[in-house]
Amino acid sequence: MSKNIGNTIYDRSINYYETDQMGIVHHSNYIRYFEEARLDMMEQVGLSYAAMEEHGLIIPVLSVACEYIKPVLFGEKVQIHTRLVKFDGIKMQFVYEIYCEGELRTKGESRHCFLDKEMKPVRMKRQFPEIYQRMKELVITATDK
pLDDT digits (tens, 9 = 90+) for 84-95: 999 999 999 999
Give tens-digit pLDDT for 7-28.
Answer: 899 999 999 999 999 999 999 9
Give tens-digit pLDDT for 51-67.
Answer: 999 999 999 999 999 99
Nearest CA to 143 out of 17, 13, 39, 4 is that of: 4
pTM over cut 0.95: no
Q: Side-chain half-sphere of 133: how many Cα atoms within 13 Å?
A: 3
Q: Quote the percentage of the chain above a pLDDT of 70.
A: 92
Residue at 82: amino acid letter: T
Give the sign of the dihedral formed by CA 47, CA 51, CA 57, CA 60: positive
**Which sequence spans correspond to the domains of the chain?**
7-138
Evaluate whether the domain defined by 7-138 bears CATH number 3.10.129.10.
yes
Q: Which residue among the candidates 20, 88, 116, 144 is catalytic per the annotation?
A: 20
Q: Is 40 a catalytic residue?
A: no
